[in-house]
Structure 1
Amino acid sequence: MSTSRPCGSWPTPVTADLVVQQSGRLGAVALDGDAVLWSEQRPHEGGRTQIVRLEPGGTPTDLLPEGANARTQVHEYGGGAWWVRAGTLWYAEWSDQRLRRVDPGASPVSITPPAPEGGSVRWADGDVDPRSGRVAVVRETHPPGSRGAVDVVNEIVVLDSTGVADVVVSGPDFVSDPRWSPDGSALAWLEWDHPNMPWDDTRLRVRDSSGVIRVAGGDADAPEGICQPSWAADGSLWFCSDRDDWWSLYRWTPDGGVDRMFHAPGDVGAPHWVFGPRRYAFLADGSVVLAVSHRGRDSLVLLDTDGSTRTLAVDVTSVDDLAAAGSTVVLIGSSPQQEPAVLRFELDERGELVGPVQTLSAVRDVDLGPEWISEPEHIEFPGGDGRPTYAHFYPPRNPESRPLDGELPPLIVMIHGGPTGNATSTLSLARQFWTTRGFAVVDVDYSGSTGYGRAYRDRLQGQWGVLDVGDCVAVVRWLGEQGRIDPARAVIRGGSAGGFTVLMALATSDVFAAGADYFGVADAEALAQETHKFESRYLDGLIAPYPEGRETYVERSPLTHLDSLTSPLVVLQGSEDAVVPPAQSEAIVEALRRKGLPVAYRLYDGEQHGFRQAENIKDSLEAELSFYAQVLGFALPADERIPVLEIENLRPDAG
């Protein structure tokens, strides 16, 4: 039987300790013969990334020695830090950014020379020539004494067995996805130039014995975001393009040109913030397994050789990476009831599942019954400009507690990063941390989010800091009108670009009682001037070209609107963040101190853009909870012993 308690005070098994307990994040999967490999980012090992290999009938085996860390800093966000062929593993080592090779049964060996300055030469997204064993890979060079983004050089090089590099693609501002054809006679890649991001306008090229061919992209009158080029066994090149609004699947052959192979309401592609993720793969018979995102959920689809499709009965609603070989499919998948896991299944000649879907690694086994789990409801509401806008809504859920009579739950508005990103339906204990305490949560796919087509994504062009904020304000009012939440106790939280939206929402609206800013952008102009190369022109589209649009940058900066900011704020920041440097957060904190507003600040040593260390993830969650308890006026469960966050300028009668 449940007990009436004030929302926020509900006892729960989902503590911050549980959120980080033996937790990790799965990064990528691969098939090497019959073996499955995947990467695990492990907070309890300092946030390092380990590569795991599982042979048929065996047990998972760590491939990297203690202390090794398979993580690249290319584009700052990384991804594509490792690849494998015939038992040999290549990976980028975080500590010095050099490439290592690990032969079966051997220790890692560096195959690239030391950089003139530590980490100034970086590697990512490699592919092995099946004919010669050479590796085509992205190289990012930060010249010694460079002036920042303007001097960084991105190229595709080919490494021989001794690590000697032959530059094969140079000139574009950015390159990615070097992929050898099955016989090694051709190399495909993607390239793009400022001010575009890879989802704005990219070019797909192929180099073979006849020269360089432009396959797709590069039409100034019809820009298209291209991603995930991949060669089929028959020598055709497949890729995703959003030329028809959705990221659909296309095929190119030298003689036949480009044909659209799959198109439906939904995205096969996704924005490539990091290198390497794949959402389709080929089976031995030529059919294709693909993940399709529509209205906030993924489904797995089989595209047969005759063009027919069927939905596969695999219980996942989010796919992070996918690989296939023969009749075997492996993926990192999750659902509202399951955290991300490495899954494997087999298909027969009719495309039917053979036996059950196997879970190879779930990172951890959370002993949490379904009665504790709040599942998302995908909602549509009128956004800030009145157009249909979307979100995942999670009602509070706790079998042992219920609100006081007449009480509506407080609301946490969650803002994903990007802003070219999306909310997912994945089971997240970090979300259940709130819902099991009596909070409602709404995870907003505001205008500009992905998974709804290019037109929806392009809504945010020139409107960042306006329409995203309007959508977040609108969802609070809409849920309040529905009688599902207490609009007077709505708070807003987000990180990076989501942190920017948090700050702008607090500064330009009066609907939020408080906010939590994780390494958010406080000064848009400073970001345009100081950020890393990958995003150094991102704001040209989201706000305006710089410096021509400087006045707009000033107007869109939270620091400009401090006079109208009256809500309490907690700010959490990594000391080594190169994307949003600590100076941005500290400027907001100092300004709030001068105004005498309630503010708390946590600076975490050794953290970059996003927290990886278990103790810091735990501390940030508990600090945020303590902050809400003090400003909204509810008591914390006594048995959790959560440290009280020190809040400057907090009035004794707050809450």
Structure 2
Amino acid sequence: MGQTVRTLAYGAWPSPIDAALAAAHDGHPEWVGLVGDEVWWTEPRPEEGGRRTLVRRHHQEVGRQAPRWRGGGGRRPGGTEESLLPAPWDVRSRVIEYGGRPWAALAREDGPLVVFVNFADQRLYRYRPGGTPRPLTPVSPVGAGLRWAEPLLRPERDEVWCVLEEFTGDGPSDVRRVLAAVPLDGSAARDRGAVRELTDGRHRFLTGAKLSPDGRRAAWLAWDHPRMPWDGTELILADAGSDGTLRDPRTVAGGPGESVAQADWTHDGRLLHSSDRSGWWNLYLDGEPVCPREEEFGGALWKLGMRWFTPLDSGLIAVVHGRGATALGVLDPETGEVVDAAGPWTEFAPDLAAHGERVVAVAASPRSAYEVVELDAGTGHARVVGAGHDDAVDPAYYPEPQIRVFTGPDGRDIHAHVYPPHHPGCVAPGDELPPYVVWAHGGPTARAPLVLDLEIAYFTSRGIGVAEVNYGGSTGYGRSYRERLREQWGVVDVEDCAAVARALADEGTADRDRLAVRGGSAGGWTAAASLTTTDVFSCGTIKYPILDLEGWGAGETHDFESRYLDSLIGPLDEVPARYAERSPAAHADRLAVPFLLLQGLDDVICPPVQCERFLARLGERPVPHAYLAFEGEGHGFRRAETMVRALEAELSLYARVFGLNPPDVPTLELTR
């Protein structure tokens, strides 16, 4: 017997997707790898203080019972998943604050040898499953200490090679970065002098080294202020001596106006890299284009160790590629042909690993959260092998997204995902238009992927629409689209979000009087700028934002992004007035609509002082608002209780402003 459909106002639809459920499914598997026959990855634990554990899928003999796979066409391989490290161990690096690959492992007859970075102290540890982790690196009393990323195990030298980030003072920019070799015997655990430096620190930033198959050459990426890695990087090649040194480093590709996103070696020792010299991140083999297309085979290097491609032993190359959404394919460098993996996934993260013809990736779709997927490059068969998606509620409550292209100022394209209100058992009165929230992604050099997000479902299943805007400056659409934001941050992003909101209202999709904007980090900036410079939105949610450019650009943030504003706004010493003109904090007196401000008190990227200064400049003006600050949270919330409180507060804001009546949601008290 079919479900009875009820007519209820938008925002009053009862939903099984509550804030606790959304929080429990926040985050996704990351940093996949193959250790012998086993697939390993890191996985979030929101209910355990937001830590990340290292997960191992034990191999199981064929013929043993395997669980059914949601995808409908196959089964997961046999095996069981094991969390290797109990709380409070947290496998996460803080290099450049956004982190990097935090673990490496080798299969051995007596069990795997593992090294990993622990978040709390940022020390590198050696670990054998079943044993106790042993520190390999010391604690430094200087500044933020010593940090490590992209470990490369070199058992033949009894070393692990890493990126070392070393603070030399108390300031966020008192830091140097080098490639370094750490002894595996633990002799450096109390002796910084036992860490052997492999590079001279001439570059401000660098990625981990990739060794050629014969071990005689090493390649890595480097760049310097004021560039960000998507502006311009250098591909550096050096000779690797038998004594464990790196000699004669030289730049072989890249430069100030060319971004090399990744480099690696083919099975026969040829250097492969992705570069956007053509306007798109494409692949180059020994400097020659492999598959020239107007789509991306690379992306913005926000974390050290991101991988959009991985060479296979057969000579083929596994690639994550696309224009907007991404696919997993196998590229034949001889013909330039790419054959994509079949399956239900519509988005692949830049997180690949391979052994032989086995490729492991992290993938999702609008009907499934991110899960670990294995592709057999020989047969083309793909299947879920870990962190498999299980429907926590009836999928009938999931949103049904639309891929849209809107027209912005000057006729420019604006890419967006529109998620209309959706509920299997509810409709709104025929004459009512739904409220909509425009989501501005962070970065801003990033992109909103088209994947199942229970935070979006939390709103759409209650009758509130969501529109994710990949505004000008977003990745995935070529360098020219990305550079629309050059010196135009706070203008183009704001215009594009407003244009999408207006278009939804003009076409009768959204209620013009019930539009909101929300975003976190750079998206928080866009949300705040939208509220202070446009009259499109009736309220907004601003999460861990940038609000005052002058303060943020003059030392209030971390080293990695400390010169980001040179390209987004312009150099501070050349256009100081622009910093004040664009800052939401400078225009707090224009704010006339309610807002919610959410902030982590341990955030060193967008520190709490940004919010505090904004509220101080708001003064005694009677603008309804709430400021929720969370102890123990940094940039981006990871603890389940924080995410629940933030999500319920956001819904309560919309209920107050839009006149909604959501059931069972705590009331947010607004200050005037």
What TM-score results when the alignment is normalised by the length of structure 1?
Answer: 0.93
Checking the alignment, whether the CA contact within 8 Å between 1:248 and 1:269 is kept in structure 2 is yes
Secondary structure class of the residue paired with 1:477: helix
1:503 maps to what in 2?
528
Q: In the aligned structure 2, how far is the partner of 1:315 from the partner of 1:229?
A: 29
Secondary structure class of the residue paired with 2:565: helix
2:358 maps to what in 1?
328
Instruction: Tell me which of 261, 266, 269 is aligned to 1:227.
Output: 261
Residues 1:188 and 2:219 aligned together: yes
Of stretches 107-116 and 440-449 in structure 1, the one that deviates more from structure 2 is 107-116
Q: In the aligned structure 1, how far is the partner of 2:525 from the partner of 2:509?
A: 27
C-alpha deviations, 1:236-276, integer Å up to 9, x for none?
A: 12111111111111122xxxxx1111222321111111122
Task: Report how far residue 136 of structure 1 moved.
Answer: 2.0
* Within-5 A mapping of 1:495-644: 495-529=520-554, 530-592=556-618, 594-637=620-663, 640=664, 642-644=665-667
Of stretches 55-64 and 492-501 in structure 1, the one that deviates more from structure 2 is 55-64
2:416 maps to what in 1?
391
Secondary structure class of the residue paired with 1:562: helix
1:652 maps to what in 2?
none
Task: Report how far residue 345 of structure 1 moved.
Answer: 3.0
* Within-5 A mapping of 1:268-283: 268-283=297-312
Checking the alignment, whether the CA contact within 8 Å between 1:96 and 1:118 is kept in structure 2 is no
* Within-5 A mapping of 1:63-142: 63-86=84-107, 87-117=112-142, 119-129=144-154, 131-142=156-167
Instruction: Tell me which of 240, 261, 278 is aligned to 1:244.
Output: 278
Secondary structure class of the residue paired with 1:59: strand
* Within-5 A mapping of 1:157-176: 157-161=180-184, 162-163=187-188, 164-169=194-199, 170-176=201-207
2:344 maps to what in 1?
315
1:156 maps to what in 2?
179
1:49 maps to what in 2?
52
2:377 maps to what in 1?
347
Q: In the aligned structure 2, how far is the partner of 1:201 from the partner of 1:24?
A: 30
Residue identity matched to 1:48 = R
Cα RMSD, aligned residues only: 1.7
Secondary structure class of the residue paired with 1:389: strand
Structure 1 residues not aligned, in runs of 5+: 253-257, 650-655
1:37 maps to what in 2?
40
Task: Report how far residue 280 of structure 1 moved.
Answer: 1.5
Secondary structure class of the residue paired with 1:547: coil
1:111–1:130 distance in 2 versus 1, CA, 3 Å: closer
Of stretches 24-33 and 8-17 in structure 1, the one that deviates more from structure 2 is 24-33
1:159–1:71 distance in 2 versus 1, CA, 3 Å: same
1:147 maps to what in 2?
171
Checking the alignment, whether the CA contact within 8 Å between 1:130 and 1:183 is kept in structure 2 is no
Q: In the aligned structure 1, how far is the partner of 2:589 from the partner of 2:116?
A: 49
Residues 1:263 and 2:292 aligned together: yes
Q: In the aligned structure 2, how far is the partner of 1:264 from the partner of 1:311?
A: 15
C-alpha deviations, 1:298-321, integer Å up to 9, x for none?
A: 112211253222222132111121
Of stretches 621-630 and 110-119 in structure 1, the one that deviates more from structure 2 is 110-119
C-alpha deviations, 1:55-80, integer Å up to 9, x for none?
A: 21131122223311111111111121
Of stretches 380-389 and 481-490 in structure 1, the one that deviates more from structure 2 is 380-389
C-alpha deviations, 1:38-58, integer Å up to 9, x for none?
A: 001211110111001112113
Q: In the aligned structure 1, how far is the partner of 2:13 from the partner of 2:265?
A: 53
Q: In the aligned structure 2, how far is the partner of 1:506 from the partner of 1:171?
A: 43
Checking the alignment, whether the CA contact within 8 Å between 2:400 and 2:422 is kept in structure 1 is no
C-alpha deviations, 1:388-438, integer Å up to 9, x for none?
A: 111111111101111112111111100000000101111000111111111
Q: In the aligned structure 1, how far is the partner of 2:261 from the partner of 2:652?
A: 42
1:255 maps to what in 2?
none
Task: Report how far residue 467 of structure 1 moved.
Answer: 0.7
Task: Report how far residue 385 of structure 1 moved.
Answer: 3.9
Q: In the aligned structure 2, how far is the partner of 1:589 from the partner of 1:570?
A: 11
Of stretches 44-53 and 81-90 in structure 1, the one that deviates more from structure 2 is 81-90
C-alpha deviations, 1:480-537, integer Å up to 9, x for none?
A: 2221111211100000110001111000000100000001111011110121100000
2:73 maps to what in 1?
none
Checking the alignment, whether the CA contact within 8 Å between 2:596 and 2:650 is kept in structure 1 is yes
1:305–1:267 distance in 2 versus 1, CA, 3 Å: closer
1:647 maps to what in 2?
670
1:19 maps to what in 2?
22
Q: In the aligned structure 2, how far is the partner of 1:22 from the partner of 1:461?
A: 35
Q: In the aligned structure 1, how far is the partner of 2:573 from the partner of 2:106?
A: 47
Checking the alignment, whether the CA contact within 8 Å between 1:44 and 1:613 is kept in structure 2 is yes
Checking the alignment, whether the CA contact within 8 Å between 1:593 and 1:648 is kept in structure 2 is no
Q: In the aligned structure 2, how far is the partner of 1:607 from the partner of 1:84?
A: 30
Checking the alignment, whether the CA contact within 8 Å between 1:389 and 1:471 is kept in structure 2 is yes
1:316–1:22 distance in 2 versus 1, CA, 3 Å: closer
Q: In the aligned structure 1, how far is the partner of 2:42 from the partner of 2:310?
A: 19
Residues 1:367 and 2:392 aligned together: yes
Structure 2 residues not aligned, in runs of 5+: 61-78, 189-193, 242-246
Q: In the aligned structure 2, how far is the partner of 1:599 from the partner of 1:389?
A: 30
Residues 1:337 and 2:367 aligned together: yes
Secondary structure class of the residue paired with 1:65: coil
Residue identity matched to 2:671 = E
Q: In the aligned structure 2, how far is the partner of 1:211 from the partner of 1:235?
A: 18
Checking the alignment, whether the CA contact within 8 Å between 1:392 and 1:444 is kept in structure 2 is yes
2:428 maps to what in 1?
403
Checking the alignment, whether the CA contact within 8 Å between 1:469 and 1:501 is kept in structure 2 is yes
Checking the alignment, whether the CA contact within 8 Å between 2:485 and 2:493 is kept in structure 1 is yes
C-alpha deviations, 1:276-315, integer Å up to 9, x for none?
A: 2212122221111111121x31112211253222222132
> Which consecutive aligned stretches of 4+ in structure 1 deviate over 4 angstroms post-superposition?
none
Secondary structure class of the residue paired with 1:55: strand
Task: Report how far residue 177 of structure 1 moved.
Answer: 2.8
Secondary structure class of the residue paired with 2:252: strand
Checking the alignment, whether the CA contact within 8 Å between 2:602 and 2:631 is kept in structure 1 is yes
Q: Share of identical aligned residues, percent? A: 39
Secondary structure class of the residue paired with 2:47: helix
2:254 maps to what in 1?
217
Instruction: Tell me which of 178, 186, 193 is aligned to 2:209.
Output: 178
1:119–1:91 distance in 2 versus 1, CA, 3 Å: farther
Secondary structure class of the residue paired with 1:84: strand
Q: Say how many residue pairs are matched.
A: 630
1:298 maps to what in 2?
326
What TM-score results when the alignment is normalised by the length of structure 2?
Answer: 0.91
Checking the alignment, whether the CA contact within 8 Å between 1:589 and 1:599 is kept in structure 2 is no
2:401 maps to what in 1?
376
Task: Report how far residue 103 of structure 1 moved.
Answer: 3.0
Q: In the aligned structure 2, how far is the partner of 1:369 from the partner of 1:384?
A: 41
C-alpha deviations, 1:564-622, integer Å up to 9, x for none?
A: 21111100000100011111112223333521101111011100000000000011000
